[in-house]
Amino acid sequence: MTPSDVKATLAFSDGSPSMELPIYKGSIGPDVIDIRKLYAQTGKFTYDPGFLSTASCNSTITYIDGDKGELLYRGYPIEQLAVNCDYLETCYLLLYGELPNADQKASFNDRVMHHTMVNEQMQFFLRGFRRDAHPMAVMTGLVGALSAFYHDSTDINNPEHREIAAIRLIAKMPTLVAMAYKYTIGQPYIYPKNDLSYAGNFMRMMFATPCEDYKPNDVLVRAMDRIFTLHADHEQNASTSTVRLCGSSGTNPFAAIAAGVACLWGPAHGGANEACLNMLADIQNQGGVAKIGEFIKQVKDKNSGVKLMGFGHRVYKNYDPRAKLMRETCHEVLGELGLQNDPMFKLAMELEKIALEDEYFVARKLYPNVDFYSGIVQRAIGIPVPLFTAIFALARTVGWIAQLNEMIGDPEYKIGRPRQLFVGATSRDVKPIGQR
């Protein structure tokens, strides 16, 4: 953090002494006012529920300019990474700070692809779940359970443990997601095949059976790989902040990532892709494009509780760059599968067009986010809707672990412990039960 020449002065109208606050500059993006000594010097806290103006850490991993609609991983624009690099190169970049050269890429791929199997006991653990359990409920349990199987990678303060936990998590998430899926549909688990690509192996574990192998289709594998890349990290979002907060107690990495999975599940976050596809299906069932006007009216009515899922973002006040790439992938996948006239895709494009012209959305700077098109792509590939968020979790695992490792490696890191403005009852005496 570079100190700025400018200082902020906090003054009080009741005559309390004012306080000078240091300001730090990042390499890009807004400066931050350092309030760490505020409580010690003034006896006051800041108040910022939802972290609208609060930087919870400093980071070198991902940068978003929400007004411009820009997303950089380690300085590289997502548009360039999505086109020129595969997901495992992106993982390497997020974990180690630089893109790999050919040798580094080969050895990283080899390392990840030789940790794809999970302990055989995991299948018995899985068997304890109901077959109709939501995949995110299952994933929260399975990821948390990994800590019980890999004792040699649970000391978060040991850099070697952090490194091997990162590789294991990236390698095993596709296996776990595919196992969760196979369990739901009552098919045998398919073991990983390490000579396939990361995305190709995942799709084979999803769609092959012992009676019939799955031949990965290049266009669909590339689409899946792009979904992974676009979801790999997104700076201090709710699930990443959850992972950091959980990990700040020194808990093991698998438990911290399981907390991230739980947070991602919510419909305001990763669950939006599932919610978005369900929304499109509802509109489709009620009459499709002809019903868009009526639906938009409901969305604008604050009492209806209806939101246009896949639209809006806390940080992007412009088109989410990932949504543009996902729309492109949508065209490719539907073209490959001969589904150019897919009514759901047509409905989504029409909905987007109408919303982008509507004063309600324009005034609030609400644009499509990554989830608006990712569901249509996944559905076309054959991924069942309830699994969408689990695939998001698979892809985001690298971001979570890179951010967690960055935090633990920072000599200044402290356990996360927010404060509060207490507005409840002040001290009072307990009365005997008969007098209450």
Alpha carbons 397 and 239: distance in angstroms, whole number: 10
Alpha carbons 403 and 119: distance in angstroms, whole number: 26
Report in angstroms how near the CB of residue 307 gets to ligand ACO at its nearest: 4
- Does 311 bind ligand ACO (CB under 6 A)? Our answer is yes
Beta carbons of 57 and 244 less than 8 angstroms apart: yes
Count the residues of the shown chain that bind ligand ACO, applying the rule CB under 6 A.
18
Beta carbons of 38 and 19 less than 8 angstroms apart: yes
Q: Output 265 or 311, the one with its CB closest to ligand ACO.
A: 311
Alpha carbons 365 and 313: distance in angstroms, whole number: 9
Please name the residue that has the structure tokens 């390392």. 111
Among 69, 141, 270, 399, binds ligand ACO (CB under 6 A): 270
Report in angstroms how near the CB of residue 80 gets to ligand ACO at its nearest: 20
- Does 307 bind ligand ACO (CB under 6 A)? Our answer is yes
- Binding part of the chain for ligand ACO, among 178-186, 209-217, 368-376, 408-416 by CB under 6 A, reads 368-376
Alpha carbons 264 and 98: distance in angstroms, whole number: 27
- Does 189 bind ligand ACO (CB under 6 A)? Our answer is no
- Does 192 bind ligand ACO (CB under 6 A)? Our answer is no
Alpha carbons 311 and 385: distance in angstroms, whole number: 18
Neighbours of 59 (CB within 10 A): 19
Among 309, 326, 333, 383, binds ligand ACO (CB under 6 A): 309
Q: Is the dihedral of CA 246, 171, 271, 223 positive or negative?
A: positive
Q: Output 179 or 351, the one with its CB closest to ligand ACO.
A: 351
Q: Output 156 or 370, the one with its CB closest to ligand ACO.
A: 370
Return the exposure string of 157-169: e unless at least 16 CB atoms fall within 10 Å of the residue's CB, then b.
eeeebbbbbbbbb
Determine whether 161 is an active site residue.
Answer: no
- Nearest to 258, CA basis, from 397, 57, 61, 408: 397
Report in angstroms how near the CB of residue 98 gets to ligand ACO at its nearest: 26
Determine whether 14 is an active site residue.
Answer: no
Q: Output 118 or 262, the one with its CB closest to ligand ACO.
A: 262
Beta carbons of 131 and 186 less than 8 angstroms apart: yes
Of residues 369 through 428, those in contact with ligand ACO by CB under 6 A are 369-371
Among 268, 287, 362, 418, binds ligand ACO (CB under 6 A): 268
Amino acid sitting at position 105:
K
Alpha carbons 279 and 286: distance in angstroms, whole number: 11
Q: Output 30 or 97, the one with its CB closest to ligand ACO.
A: 30
- Does 221 bind ligand ACO (CB under 6 A)? Our answer is no
- Does 283 bind ligand ACO (CB under 6 A)? Our answer is no
Q: Output 168 or 313, the one with its CB closest to ligand ACO.
A: 313
To 10 degrees, what angle do helices 321-336 and 371-381 make?
A: 20
| Distances, alpha carbon 155 to alpha carbons 233, 249, 251, in Å | 24, 12, 8
Q: Output 101 or 303, the one with its CB closest to ligand ACO.
A: 303
| Distances, alpha carbon 196 to alpha carbons 31, 116, 192, 199, 203, in Å | 45, 11, 9, 8, 10
- Does 243 bind ligand ACO (CB under 6 A)? Our answer is no
Among 135, 141, 310, 399, binds ligand ACO (CB under 6 A): 310
DSSP-assigned beta bridge partners for residue 21: 8
Beta carbons of 143 and 258 less than 8 angstroms apart: yes
Q: Output 184 or 378, the one with its CB closest to ligand ACO.
A: 378
- Does 364 bind ligand ACO (CB under 6 A)? Our answer is yes
Among 178, 199, 261, 299, binds ligand ACO (CB under 6 A): 299
Residue nearest to ligand ACO (CB): 312
- Of 5, 371, 410, 429, the catalytic one is 371
- Of 134, 231, 313, 320, the catalytic one is 313
- Does 272 bind ligand ACO (CB under 6 A)? Our answer is yes
Alpha carbons 140 and 124: distance in angstroms, whole number: 16
Amino acid sitting at position 5:
D
- Does 317 bind ligand ACO (CB under 6 A)? Our answer is no
Report in angstroms how near the CB of residue 370 gets to ligand ACO at its nearest: 5
- Binding part of the chain for ligand ACO, among 39-47, 310-318, 380-388, 428-436 by CB under 6 A, reads 310-318
- Nearest to 261, CA basis, from 273, 250, 270: 270
Q: Coil, helix or strand for 63?
A: strand
Binding site residues, ligand ACO, CB under 6 A = 268-270, 272, 299, 307-314, 364, 366, 369-371
Kindly list the catalytic residues.
313, 371
